Structure 1
Amino acid sequence: MNPDEQLYDEQVVRPYVISRGRTEARANLDLISLAVAIRQPTGLEVGLDPEHLAIVRLCRRPLSVAEIAAALDLPAGTVRVLLGDLLDSGFVAVQDPQPEVDVLDERMYRAVLDGLRAL
């Protein structure tokens, strides 16, 4: 296998394995949805992978889906799936973005651009 094929395999296969082949999150999460840990794992939970645990550790303070993805170097879709698992099992709470956003507000666009640059 040449280096380019190996890099491609690592970028595609790893997230697929981490999400156990799932591509759809159980919850509707935007890139700017905020997640915060509300319960810490005891170590006895079944079904929590190292990536789940890393998300709970990161979310001791509220973080957006985009920030979590950047911190873990994972695709946002994979993070959404994992956050859905954690939400269902009661480890995180998620706050969706405020619905009344002024689409003409330049600050919102700057925040989105800053988040995308962080990826």
Structure 2
Amino acid sequence: MTDDRDPREQDSQWYDNEAGPLVRPYAMTGGRTRSGPTGVAFDLIALVTLDASAPDADDTLGPEHRTLIELCRPETQSVAELAAGADLPVGVVRVLLGDLLESGRVTVSRPVPPAQLPDERILREVIEGLRAL
């Protein structure tokens, strides 16, 4: 008995017909693994804000770029939230955000590091002083 299926299909048992087409992460990033701007680290908790003065999405952006822009449109999002919302790996989101940052469409800010926050003891003293008023 002969198998009439395409030989490529026989070797592709990992492919799930219900999942639809599969795009590898390196295809979305053009094979890049690092974000564009040097010195910018997209931590999971880095906050990404859509730049209101930036031009609207154009045809030079890929669908993943546009998805990230739409996720940032209503409010500031963390890198982790963007990855979850876009259903993309964090590494891919970092590279795509690097593209958006270079084109001036988004801005990135970091939360205050714990070392720069006021001491808990001082905050408690302030609260106690306010309560005494």
TM-score of the two chains, using structure 1 as the length reference: 0.71
Q: CA deviation at 1:97?
A: 2.6
2:77 pairs with 1:67: no
Classify 1:42/1:79 alpha carbon distance in 2 versus 1 (closer, same or farther; 3 Å).
same
Q: CA deviation at 1:43?
A: 4.7
Gaps of 5+ in 2: 1-11, 118-133
Greater than 3 Å deviation, 4+ residue runs: 39-45
2:95 pairs with 1:81: yes
| Partner of residue 97, structure 1 | 111
| Partner of residue 56, structure 1 | 69
Secondary structure of the equivalent of 1:32? coil
| Partner of residue 32, structure 1 | 45
CA contact (8 A) 1:86 1:92 kept: yes
Gaps of 5+ in 1: 103-119
Instruction: Give the alignment's Cα RMSD to 1 decimal.
Output: 2.4
Aligned partners of 2:50 and 2:32: how far apart in 1? 23
Aligned partners of 1:74 and 1:41: how far apart in 2? 24
How many pairs does the alignment contain? 97
Secondary structure of the equivalent of 1:81? helix
Moved more, 34-43 or 91-100: 34-43
CA contact (8 A) 1:41 1:53 kept: no
Classify 1:15/1:81 alpha carbon distance in 2 versus 1 (closer, same or farther; 3 Å).
same
Higher Cα Rg, which structure:
2
Q: CA deviation at 1:15?
A: 1.2
Matched-pair identity in %: 46
More helix by share: 1
Q: CA deviation at 1:23?
A: 0.5
